[in-house]
A and B are shown apart, each in its own frame.
Chain A
């Protein structure tokens, strides 16, 4: 597989910012970011794109802004600033009927399938509803399509009249995926879609998603806090911290992660068969900085420079298809080209 980004972006956000509380600092809206002392937005000036047929992974811990980013990219929430583009459409400029129609093309699978399925609706009826609302197939063909969708996610076609409570967690998540696929989306957004599942069942759903990508060319953004899950599924991974994308790299060849946060994160992941002393870093972990100037990671960064206090680092290319937002790493890369 080529490590270059394939083709035109299918789904893209440009300089996307989402602020939940209070008024956004005016200068932020004017030109990306400014030195105001306002509330730091959940997502700050993020530009990211998904190519057709690609699986993009978004990695981050709680509060990093990964879920907010996905909600904005699916236009479940309007961004405070910046724009979202789906192929030729600017989603963030659409309203009303036009937005509703465009939204069909992006479907979301959430973490808890029991919360996202109606307990009083049979799973067959939930799928049929999607087919009818979006007029995917003629009325007479709905039953057949429901059966084939269930088959596609590995649920016996005869189970259409069962209810979510009659299915296991993995079964419910398959139904959520089938319901997302029913709308024939261009993009599937999966937000921690396997995090609530037990290990043995998680593998079933991960394999299903991987098969769908390989067989149908489904484009996907997969959000997770689990490094290993993304290593298995994603062709490219963006790491988020404090509302920013701090590093982004293609999965092949396995990247040499450079950002000090990514390195800390990877060092903290327990690896089977490794003793405790091998993972984790000493010392208390400072939370992300919530001011608008400077790098959100600087409080616990071993590479901290003076510049990190004043200027939020931008993503810069350090290798082919590998971008890092860190003053220290970029300065190092500029001095001596990475081998």
Chain B
């Protein structure tokens, strides 16, 4: 199936009982065949946003807003109609592959189950054999060697990285055209992570699939995604081409995150963002980042800040985006290597 454009408009996710909003008006587009990254800290709403796209929100949460995939409106589909979309059109993988795999089922059988749920060629034994061969092919495709033998193993007999490969094979079984990967490598060691990220990239290119990747790690998103959205307190605060956003952030939160990361070859002191992520209940009407922002003005606190155009294809939810610089330590280090900006 060829990929189509995913359009999300004014998506809101709220706690059903209290009405408390966890995702507050998120809009984005994923172009066919492209890779789109969400980056943000805990409770920024990045995972909920992605789950809402295929209506897999945790119990007790509800979403509003418009979600289109090509010509199909996904928001408002019945559970039955969604069943035809999930897996076949849009598929999802999660941080913990064990949660996606049935511990009592051989991984080959688990993949066969997906193949048979979505394809209906022939009947009986021939169909089963076709599916079993299909499962082995899929395992080979995700880089599992000796796939015929390993398809008869159980999930606990695989390492973490191999399990994630199995989960990816399952997600790809029905040839979806959009894959959503929610922190797929966060539980894995870096050597294994590199392999999984390269696999996802290769599969995307070969199949012309679109990819949405969620991560808290700028390095992962930077390597794997064309487009980047930075989320904070349930909103996209900055969005644009990954390389451009990282080279010159247009929001003080993005700049603050980059300045607080220990990075390759960095010797200057880290500059933490003061304070911590706000409790969703305590967010006021103005900018949610205002209490931690060194550029804050009275205007920031008065009214909601819209996404402002920074450059073609780039937006920032900051009135002072033109003033954003990488923050430097108030106490310059003894080396005097960095100069104070402003």
Contact = CB atoms under 8 A, between A and B. Distances in A.
Contacts of A265: 190-191
Contact of B161 (A168, A225, A274, A285): A285
B263 A206 contact: no
Nearest to B223: A276
B313 to A, nearest CB: 19
Contacts of B222: 270-274
Interface residues on B, range: 35 or more
Contacts of A285: 161, 191-192, 195
Interface string B159-198: 1110000000000000000000000000001111111011
Interface stretch (A67-75, A122-130, A196-204, A302-310): A196-204
A166 to B, nearest CB: 11
Interface in B120-173: 143-145, 159-161
A228 B216 contact: no
Interface in B192-222: 192-195, 197-198, 201, 216-220, 222
B266 A232 contact: yes
A203 B262 CA distance: 8
A272 B189 contact: no
A311 B201 CA distance: 39
Nearest to B198: A280
Contacts of B190: 61, 225, 227, 265, 268-270
Given A270-B223, A276-B197, A284-B143, A200 B191 contact: no
Interface in B236-283: 243, 246-247, 256-266, 269-273, 276-277
Contact of A201 (B195, B266, B272): B272
Contact of B261 (A61, A228, A264, A275): A228
Interface in A146-179: 168-171
Q: Is the interface of A mostly helix, strand, loop or mixed?
A: helix
Given A231-B262, A285-B195, A200 B272 contact: yes
A202 B277 CA distance: 13
A150 to B, nearest CB: 17
A257 interface: no
Given A62-B189, A199-B216, A280-B195, A273 B243 contact: yes
Nearest to B40: A198
Contacts of A233: 262
Given A273-B243, A273-B246, A284 B41 contact: no
Contact of B260 (A199, A226, A273): A199
Contacts of B42: 169, 198
A287 interface: yes
Interface of A: 61-62, 168-171, 198-204, 206-207, 210, 225-229, 231-233, 264-265, 267-282, 284-285, 287
6 contacts: A203-B259, A268-B191, A268-B193, A270-B223, A284-B145, A285-B195
